[in-house]
Amino acid sequence: MSNNDFNTRLFKHLDDHQKDYIQRLSDAVSIPSVSAWPEHRHEVVRMVDWTKSLLEKLGVKVELSDVGKQKIADGKEIDLPNVILGTYGNDKAKKTVLIYGHLDVQPAQVSDGWDTEPFVLTEKNGKLFGRGSTDDKGPVLSWLNVIEAYQQLNEPFPVNVKFCLESMEEYGSEGLEDLLKSLKNTFLSDVDFVVISDSYWLGKEKPCLQYGLRGICYFFLDVECSTKDLHSGCFGGTIHEAMTDLIALMSTLVDDQGHILIDGVYDEVAPLLPEEEQLYKPITFDTKAYCSEAGVEKTIQKEKEQILMHRWRYPSLSLHGIQGAFDGVGCKTVIPRHVIGKFSIRIVPNMKIATLEKLVEKHIQNIMKERKSPNKVSVKLEHGGDYWVADPNNPQYIAARKATVAVHGIEPDLTREGGSIPITLTFQEQTGKNVLLLPIGASDDGAHSQNEKFDIINYMNGMKVMGAYFQEIAKL
Ligand SMILES: NCC(=O)N[C@@H](Cc1c[nH]cn1)C(=O)O
Ligand SMILES: [Zn+2]
Ligand SMILES: [Zn+2]
């Protein structure tokens, strides 16, 4: 049977089973596998076990890998969730594709401003709302649904598949790098290609393939002023307050143009070459839609090319929160004794994490010297993940382009991604093989945000592209 004939059967089969796929995603979303909440670790473990059973039902040989402990507050330690290593097929005549994805999600609560319960998948107007629907439970299940569809159609699977599914991605992939290094000559040794579906299109209509990611360095800025919280009427105006120092420090990090104010940060950033500048011109990107998706009036940069460059190839610094600060309703007049500011820097070629760590440390020390405050201040790199850039002309990208055309009838844009998948570079280094980012979600999916969703059409078409991709890979 030709590829085209099989595609027609496969696509129809997938369409006929849409309800089952939605139910499966609903089951996955109902497990609140938030990696950032240590008290939810049992839910992350439940998600790992649920996925393991599903894989085993599909005939995937599964091994759970213990990756050690995580240090949490006050010197306590908890188990990191096991990493799922799966093997499906072992035919030496076939190519082997390693699929990476993650089962953990960002925190979510109705009180954050969700219109629906975040851990109840809710269908509205062709959209499936729920935490993890697009990041990354929907894409992970899409791969599994495709394997199931081939089985139900009695079609031999065209490639061998290996799975690496982790559950700490949203917390910097703790433990995974060491595991992959230890698997270089075993589990990873026969991998031909690595593919990751954990990112989003640049718009709502046009598919893309991505060949770059920014890295991330997440910092904790710790300020302590006293041995206990204090009454601001009794002590206000007489002591150096922790929050005052912290706010002052945090306000020295980035200006209103998004420019990072830490000395030396831009020194290692790769210069923009004329050839690279040309790459941005043909990319379809609607700046108005970008603003409306973010719910903002305007962006810092005006031109499409400038916005994309600041999203993909320049570093950025974001302030995320302050632990220990009063954030409830009403008025509390306490001076908190200890606050921790959270900020992250997205890093790009050719920045080095070690250099950045030193520059941040020096910057904080310098500002504190100027402030003449006696408070205890320290800054710590909580986790760091490298940037990654690949060759979009690799045969794997050509295969994915053909698969995209078979489903969408158009060539995908070749783009980069401003977010981070910290382990991507490690996969490239430990396998020595090409890594492809194959996003299936739309730009307005709202990953990490309130009302995260996955469009049913993207779920369905995403599976079709994945199904066709396996056939194209088999031809290489
Ligand atoms: N879908 C990828 C993603 O959301 N990645 C996270 C990774 C991360 C690292 N530290 C905290 N989160 C991202 O924020 O880009
Ligand atoms: Zn993700
Ligand atoms: Zn994410």
Report pLDDT digits (tens) over 292-310: 999 999 999 999 999 999 9
Q: Is 135 in the pocket of ligand 1 (CB under 6 A)?
A: yes
What are the distances in angstroms from CA 366 to CA 220, 369, 371? 17, 5, 9
Based on the fold, state whether residues 74 and 210 are members of the same structural domain: yes
Q: How many domains does the chain have?
A: 2
Among 355, 385, 415, the domain boundary falls at 385
CA distance linking residue 342 with residue 337, whole number of Å: 17
135: annotated binding-site residue?
yes
Whether 39 is in a domain gets the answer yes
* Structural domain includes residue 307: no
Residue 429: the pLDDT is: 97
Q: Are residues 194 and 249 in the same domain?
A: no
pLDDT digit string (tens) for 105-114? 999 999 999 9
By most ligand atoms within 8 Å of CB, the mutation choice from 37, 104, 166, 169 for ligand 1 is 169
Tokens of 280: 């941005």
For residue 361, the enclosing domain spans: 215-270+313-385
Domain C-terminal end among 351, 385, 419? 385
CA atoms of 255 and 342, how far apart (whole Å):
17
Q: What is the pLDDT of residues 434-474, one digit of tens each?
A: 999 999 999 999 999 999 999 999 999 999 999 999 999 99
Please indicate if the annotation marks 263 as binding a ligand. no
Q: Has residue 404 been placed in a domain?
A: yes
Q: Is 420 annotated as a binding residue?
A: yes
- Mean pLDDT rounded to a whole number for the chain: 97
Q: What is the CATH number of the domain that holds 178?
A: 3.40.630.10
Ligand 1 in reach of 422 Cβ (< 6 A): yes
Asked whether residue 265 falls in the same domain as residue 322, the answer is yes
How confident is the model over 416-436, as a mean pLDDT? 96
Which positions are catalytic? 104, 169
The CA distance from 82 to 84, in Å, is 6
Q: DSSP readout, 101-144? A: EE--B----GGGT-SS-TTS-EEETTEEESTTIIIIIHHHHHHH
Residue 155 is which amino acid? E
CA of 395 to the centre of ligand 3 (A): 28
Point out the domain boundary residue: 385, 410, 433.
385
| Whether 9 and 99 share a structural domain | yes
User: Is 50 in the same domain as 182?
Assistant: yes
Q: Classify the complex by whether its ipTM is higher than 0.90, answering yes or no.
A: yes
Q: Look up the pTM and report it.
A: 0.93
Task: Tell me whether residue 341 is in a domain.
Answer: yes
